[in-house]
A and B are shown apart, each in its own frame.
Chain A
Amino acid sequence: MHAVVRRKPAPALSGARRRFAWWLMAPTLAMFAANAVFPLLYALDVSVRNYQLLIPIPAQFVGLANYARVLSDPLFWSSVEVTLWFIAAVVFLQLPAALGLALLFNGLPRWAGIAVTVLLVPTIIAPSVVGFQWAQIYNYQFGPLNYLLGLAGLGHPVWTASPSLALPSLLAIDFWEWTPFLVLLLFAGLSALPPDVLEAARVDGSNWSQVFWRIMLPLLRPVIGIALLLRVLMSFKTFDIIYILTAGGPGAATENLAYYTYIQGFRYFNLGYASALAIIQLVVVAVLAKALIGLTRRPGLASVS
């Protein structure tokens, strides 16, 4: 069965109507230029200068020197590694867990609304509050987690100050905080699946596994793509919990790209270097976003045969 929905192209606008449309869009375009295009061009300009706010020497054009320095900076590469861990956790832990929970709730229509609402609480708490809350939970001496582990005879790990545990501890918070958001998106996607297609598959004798892998998952692909796109972009920007719980430490063990850029820009005020870091991130994020948007555009029903 192939079911490709073709949209009828919109009729072309006449010259006067086209001009009117541009006038209508002008305020939005002006705002976009002021808020997005100008800062981007300014950041590009600063990224090719040795602009340091705290040094009373005029900034000079240095070409791609800041970019070259980024590539040979070990702290940049370690921050890339930390960032990749956050993204990997989204793809390999949060998404499968969220899909599982969404399927579970989809099978319990009576309780699904309440369950999803309760589950969303971590996502709607202010991130700084999440940070402080987990700082208490992870507290070596007074934290409830270590208290319970102590009762069970499992010792008292030093969660956020241990080089081996600090990053997993942050990933666990990220999981707790943002998996419900994915559950919400995927649950909405599952609820919107056409029931006749699922019903037809069951009538044709498909088992649950076949329905899931060959019908539900392909149909959910656009939603999964959107969910991944949003979460991957958010992962790139993870900052609050790092700032509050570890300040990037111990050493630079939990310093991701966003935090490293903040340190260069707002602690050392190396604006040229921080801008180069930001531009590199922008390019990487844009490439990733393009790939994930491609995933969302894949035809849904068309691939179901």
Chain B
Amino acid sequence: MNRTILTGPAISRRGVLGAGLSMLALGADPRGAAAATTVHIECDAGQNELPFRWQASALEATYGIAPDLVSLPFVGQYEKLVTDLTSRSDAYDVLVFPPYFLGDFQALGFLRELDPYFSIIDPQLADYLPVYRDPVIKRDGKTYALMYDGDLLQVCYRTDLFEDPKEKVAFRQKYGQDLAVPTTWVDFMKVAEFFNRPPNLYGTAFYAQRGFCYAWFVNIFAGLGGHWFDAKMNPGIKSDAGYKALSLLVEMKKYAPPNILQIDYPTLNQVFLDGSTAIVVQWDDLPLKCENPAMSKVVGKSGFAPCPQRSYMPYSRVMAVSAFSKNPEEAYKVAVHMQLPDVGITYVYDPECGEDPYRESYLKASAVKNHLGQPTMSAAAAANYVDAIRNGLKAGYPELSIPGAPRYIDILDLYVNQALAGSLSPKAALDACAGEWASITAAEGQDRITKAYADWVDSFHKVGLTY
């Protein structure tokens, strides 16, 4: 765990002494109004804490708050938070975590309800995209979190290959159809197979390492009409849609680099950015990196589109105020500041961090700029990117966020990984996973979880989204 107090310019010892003597002479309390209140912000270490660093001076100048970043490793963040919060630790004021922790954290009383603080600063929730509003940040009608990062899986493909007349002719000859950005998983497999020309070009790649390989399975599973559970909490993965989705993902390995089981988030970015892969599904911050010459060999050669049929929304990040915070009001101010329309816009399109849009007002091509206000893409690429996000969210498939979600998801990830590794057949893997899911449901309490799941699904219906 690293800690970084984010402060303004350093003050000399003479300066501190002088200021102290002046205050004593004036009878002022040195801990008075001029002293900044420290707010401890927990966030996964790396690119996702950058927006807090960029906003440190604004927080100090506007609210007199000195943000103290407590960086936790991305892997193990959940375990660390649960361990600390179970022991009622006040080490964190603001918690940044993925919404799939929210079900557990709210049920265990780790979070403060935020509605009473809305009178201090209005979080302007009406501007949130519907999918991120009630379903993600609210439970039982109460607000427990504010958005920080709206994640979505998206297709990135090589426009130079897809628009090459020779490739188009060859594709038509082989498959009897036009070469186009796939809108079904069957077509996706054809494209991946067609462009698979190792070792210089691979058809596709995906996150196959343990940790998030489940997301690439769920992305296909959702597109084939699958659901997490039915109304009685019977696992939806033990179905034809589940078996077919996992079989497709296993088959996709044939068109991927040989180290596919080692591919994680940065490696997946890398195999597309270095030009060695024709089409990938990745989180929606990849397009920003594609158009950054410092990071990419495919600048101006990338196109973006929603995933076939449905786009899964794995991870994302929200900000919440710890129930054990000694400065809840200041913590709220930090959280609300970071997601205000004119603040969030400064980081959701910055290629250096991993945050993505979550407000309606962010979905304008002209808004695609970095935190310094400089455009990060050409106007055409920005329009394509924003359209892909908007259309992807229209058919967005939500990440499970009910009590027990981290366990359901981790078990699914284990069995998907077993199928990808060839240790189990897709059917055997999903059947075994469904058995484990049933045990989790029984342990959590069948009735309690059934109700929580029904409420969660209902929250999507209420905002007009298909689940």
A residues near B, CB below 8 A? 50, 52-57, 74, 140-141, 156, 158, 160-163, 246-253, 266-270
Q: Is B404 located at the chain interface by the 8 A CB criterion?
A: yes
Q: Is the CB of B422 within 8 A of A247?
A: no
Q: Is the CB of A55 within 8 A of B259?
A: no
Q: Is the CB of B75 within 8 A of A163?
A: no
Task: Kindly list chain A residues whose C-beta atoms are within 8 Å of the C-beta of B75.
Answer: 247
Q: In angstroms, how far is the closest chain B Cβ from the Cβ of A244?
A: 10
Using A50-B443, A57-B445 as known contacts, say yes or no to A250 and B420 having CB atoms under 8 A apart: yes
Task: Kindly list chain A residues whose C-beta atoms are within 8 Å of the C-beta of B445.
Answer: 55, 57
Q: Is B104 located at the chain interface by the 8 A CB criterion?
A: yes
Q: Which of A50, A52, A140, A247 contacts B259 (CB 8 A)?
A: A140
29 contacts between A and B (CB under 8 A): A54-B104, A54-B403, A54-B404, A55-B404, A56-B107, A56-B108, A140-B258, A156-B259, A158-B258, A158-B261, A158-B262, A160-B262, A161-B259, A247-B75, A247-B209, A248-B210, A249-B210, A249-B261, A249-B421, A250-B210, A250-B420, A251-B415, A251-B418, A251-B420, A251-B423, A252-B414, A253-B421, A268-B410, A269-B82
The distance in angstroms between the C-alpha atoms of A251 and B413, with both chains bound, is 9
The distance in angstroms between the C-alpha atoms of A266 and B210, with both chains bound, is 17
The distance in angstroms between the C-alpha atoms of A247 and B73, with both chains bound, is 14
- Nearest B residue to A158, CB-CB: B259
Q: Is the CB of B261 within 8 A of A162?
A: yes
Q: How many residues of chain B are within 8 Å of chain A by beta carbon? A: 36
A contacts with B: majority SS = loop
The distance in angstroms between the C-alpha atoms of A54 and B440, with both chains bound, is 11
Q: Is the CB of B443 within 8 A of A163?
A: no
Interface centre among A52, A74, A251 (most CB of B within 10 A): A251
B residues near A, CB below 8 A? 75, 78-79, 82-83, 86, 104, 107-108, 209-211, 258-262, 403-404, 406-407, 410, 414-415, 417-424, 432, 443-445
Number of A-B pairs whose CB atoms are under 8 Å?
82
Task: Kindly list chain A residues whose C-beta atoms are within 8 Å of the C-beta of B209.
Answer: 161, 247, 249
Task: Kindly list chain B residues whose C-beta atoms are within 8 Å of the C-beta of A268.
Answer: 407, 410
- Nearest A residue to B420, CB-CB: A250
Task: Kindly list chain A residues whose C-beta atoms are within 8 Å of the C-beta of B419.
Answer: 251
Q: In angstroms, how far is the closest chain B Cβ from the Cβ of A264?
A: 10
Task: Kindly list chain B residues whose C-beta atoms are within 8 Å of the C-beta of A161.
Answer: 209, 259-262
With A247-B210, A250-B423 known, 10 other A-B pairs at CB within 8 A are A54-B404, A156-B258, A161-B262, A163-B423, A246-B210, A247-B75, A248-B210, A251-B414, A251-B419, A267-B406
Q: In angstroms, how far is the closest chain A Cβ from the Cβ of B5?
A: 26
Q: In angstroms, how far is the closest chain B Cβ from the Cβ of A70?
A: 13
- Nearest A residue to B274, CB-CB: A141
Interface centre among B75, B260, B417, B419 (most CB of A within 10 A): B417
The distance in angstroms between the C-alpha atoms of A59 and B115, with both chains bound, is 33
Q: Is the CB of A250 within 8 A of B83?
A: no
Task: Kindly list chain A residues whose C-beta atoms are within 8 Å of the C-beta of B262.
Answer: 140, 158, 160-161
Task: Kindly list chain A residues whose C-beta atoms are within 8 Å of the C-beta of B79.
Answer: 266-267
The distance in angstroms between the C-alpha atoms of A111 and B424, with both chains bound, is 52
Task: Kindly list chain B residues whose C-beta atoms are within 8 Å of the C-beta of A269.
Answer: 82
Interface centre among B79, B211, B259, B423 (most CB of A within 10 A): B259
Using A54-B104, A156-B258, A161-B209 as known contacts, say yes or no to A251 and B443 having CB atoms under 8 A apart: no
- Nearest A residue to B79, CB-CB: A266
Task: Kindly list chain A residues whose C-beta atoms are within 8 Å of the C-beta of B108.
Answer: 54, 56
The distance in angstroms between the C-alpha atoms of A162 and B258, with both chains bound, is 10
The distance in angstroms between the C-alpha atoms of A266 and B406, with both chains bound, is 12
Task: Kindly list chain B residues whose C-beta atoms are within 8 Å of the C-beta of A163.
Answer: 421-423
Task: Kindly list chain B residues whose C-beta atoms are within 8 Å of the C-beta of A160.
Answer: 262
Report, nearest first, the 10 A-B pairs whose CB atoms are least far apart.
A251-B418, A161-B261, A250-B421, A140-B259, A249-B210, A161-B262, A251-B421, A163-B421, A251-B423, A158-B259
Q: Is the CB of A253 within 8 A of B423?
A: yes
- Nearest B residue to A160, CB-CB: B262
Q: In angstroms, how far is the closest chain A Cβ from the Cβ of B258?
A: 6
The distance in angstroms between the C-alpha atoms of A119 and B262, with both chains bound, is 31
Task: Kindly list chain A residues whose C-beta atoms are within 8 Å of the C-beta of B261.
Answer: 158, 161-162, 249-250
Q: In angstroms, how far is the closest chain B Cβ from the Cβ of A51?
A: 11
- Nearest B residue to A268, CB-CB: B407
Q: Which of A52, A74, A266 contacts B83 (CB 8 A)?
A: A266
The distance in angstroms between the C-alpha atoms of A57 and B449, with both chains bound, is 13
Q: Is the CB of A141 within 8 A of B259?
A: yes
The distance in angstroms between the C-alpha atoms of A241 and B83, with both chains bound, is 23
Q: In angstroms, how far is the closest chain A Cβ from the Cβ of B441?
A: 11
Task: Kindly list chain B residues whose C-beta atoms are within 8 Å of the C-beta of A54.
Answer: 82, 104, 108, 403-404, 407
Q: Is the CB of A250 within 8 A of B258?
A: no
- Nearest A residue to B423, CB-CB: A251
Q: Is the CB of B410 within 8 A of A247?
A: no
Task: Kindly list chain B residues whose C-beta atoms are within 8 Å of the C-beta of A162.
Answer: 261
The distance in angstroms between the C-alpha atoms of A252 and B418, with both chains bound, is 7
The distance in angstroms between the C-alpha atoms of A251 and B415, with both chains bound, is 7
Q: In angstroms, how far is the closest chain B Cβ from the Cβ of A121?
A: 27
Task: Kindly list chain A residues whose C-beta atoms are within 8 Å of the C-beta of B422.
Answer: 163
The distance in angstroms between the C-alpha atoms of A50 and B424, with both chains bound, is 29
Q: In angstroms, how far is the closest chain B Cβ from the Cβ of A258?
A: 15
Task: Kindly list chain A residues whose C-beta atoms are within 8 Å of the C-beta of B424.
Answer: 251
Task: Kindly list chain A residues whose C-beta atoms are within 8 Å of the C-beta of B432.
Answer: 74
Interface centre among B107, B262, B445 (most CB of A within 10 A): B262
The distance in angstroms between the C-alpha atoms of A49 and B410, with both chains bound, is 23
The distance in angstroms between the C-alpha atoms of A154 and B171, with both chains bound, is 34
